[in-house]
C-alpha cells in the first residue's frame, strides 16, 4: 500500500506540537505588547537609598528595542498558520493522493517548502533575540540621571534596552509600590518565557523538516523502484512483440 511505512503519522504529531508551541509563543509576545502599552508605561516612583526625595521614572526608555519581539511573533504566526493549519490540509490531501494515485500531491511539496522557510525564520528569530538580549544586558539605571529629569516627562534617554533588560533594571530600583513590583516580576517571567520558548520551537521545526524531507525521499525512491519494476516486467513482452 502507498501509506505503508510512511512518516505521515509522526509528521502529524510533530506538527501538532509545533503548532501548540507557536501559539504559546504568540500568546506570550502579545501579553508583553499589551503590558508595554499599558502598565509598562509607568510611571515608577522610587526613593533612592542616598536620599529621601521621591523620584519618578517615566515608563519605558527612549531607546527601547522591540524588533526581536516582532520577528518572534512573525515566526510564531508562520509556524502556526502556514505550517500548522496548512500542514493539516497538506497531510489530508497527501493521504488522499497516496490512496488514489500512489504519489505525492503538489500541495504537499509546496507545504514542504513552507516548512523550510518557517524553520529558517524561527532560526533567525532565535539568534536575533538572544544576541540582542545579550548585547543590551548588564546595564543599570543611573539614579542621578533620573534625578536630573525630575519634573519632566522625558523618558530615560541613556542606553539601549530590550523590554526584558529594561524592566529587570527597573526592578533593581527601590520601588515604592509593592503591587507594581509584583506585576513587573510577573511580566519578566512572560518576557523570558517567550524568548526561551523559541528553543523548543526551533527544535520542533527542525524535527518536522527532517521528517518531511525523509518522507519525500522515501516516496521518490519508491516511485523509482515501481518504474524499474514496471520496465522489468514489460521487457519479456517487448521481446515477444519484436
Please tell me which residue, 147 or 22, carries the higher pLDDT value. 22
In a domain, 3, yes or no: no
Model confidence, pTM: 0.84
Domain tally for the chain?
A: 1
Give CA–CA dist 92/151, Å, rounded.
Answer: 63
In a domain, 154, yes or no: yes
Going by the DSSP 8-state scheme, the letter that residue 175 receives in this structure is B
- Strands 44-46 and 55-57 turn out to be antiparallel
In a domain, 2, yes or no: no
Give me the percent of the chain exceeding a pLDDT of 90.
59
Range of the structural domain that residue 147 is part of: 8-241
In a domain, 196, yes or no: yes
In a domain, 198, yes or no: yes
Triad 160, 76, 198: Cα angle to 5°? 60
In a domain, 227, yes or no: yes
Confidence of residue 75 (pLDDT cuts 50, 70, 90): very high
Going by the DSSP 8-state scheme, the letter that residue 161 receives in this structure is B
In a domain, 75, yes or no: yes
In a domain, 1, yes or no: no
Amino acid at each position: 500500500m502507498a501509506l505503508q511505512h510512511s512518516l505521515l503519522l509522526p509528521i502529524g504529531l510533530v506538527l501538532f506540537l509545533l503548532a501548540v508551541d507557536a501559539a504559546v509563543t504568540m500568546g506570550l509576545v502579545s501579553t508583553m505588547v499589551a503590558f508595554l502599552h499599558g502598565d509598562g508605561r509607568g510611571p515608577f516612583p522610587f526613593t533612592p537609598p542616598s536620599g529621601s526625595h521621591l523620584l519618578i521614572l517615566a515608563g519605558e526608555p527612549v531607546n527601547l528595542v522591540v524588533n526581536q519581539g516582532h520577528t518572534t511573533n512573525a515566526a510564531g504566526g508562520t509556524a502556526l498558520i502556514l505550517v500548522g493549519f496548512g500542514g493539516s490540509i497538506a497531510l489530508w490531501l497527501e493521504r488522499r493522493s497516496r490512496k488514489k494515485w500512489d504519489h505525492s500531491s503538489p500541495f504537499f511539496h509546496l507545504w514542504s517548502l513552507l516548512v523550510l522557510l518557517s524553520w529558517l525564520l524561527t532560526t533567525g528569530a532565535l539568534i536575533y533575540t538572544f544576541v540582542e538580549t545579550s548585547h543590551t544586558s548588564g546595564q543599570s539605571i543611573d539614579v542621578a540621571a533620573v534625578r536630573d529629569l525630575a519634573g519632566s516627562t522625558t523618558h530615560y534617554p541613556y542606553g539601549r534596552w530590550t523590554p526584558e533588560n529594561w524592566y529587570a533594571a527597573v526592578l533593581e530600583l527601590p520601588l515604592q509600590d509593592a503591587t507594581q513590583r509584583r506585576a513587573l516580576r510577573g511580566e519578566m517571567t512572560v518576557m523570558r518565557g517567550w524568548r526561551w520558548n523559541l528553543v523548543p520551537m526551533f527544535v520542533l521545526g527542525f524535527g518536522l523538516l527532517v521528517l518531511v524531507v525523509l518522507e519525500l525521499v522515501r516516496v521518490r525512491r519508491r516511485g523509482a523502484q515501481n518504474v524499474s519494476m514496471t520496465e522489468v516486467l514489460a521487457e519479456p513482452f517487448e521481446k515477444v512483440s519484436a
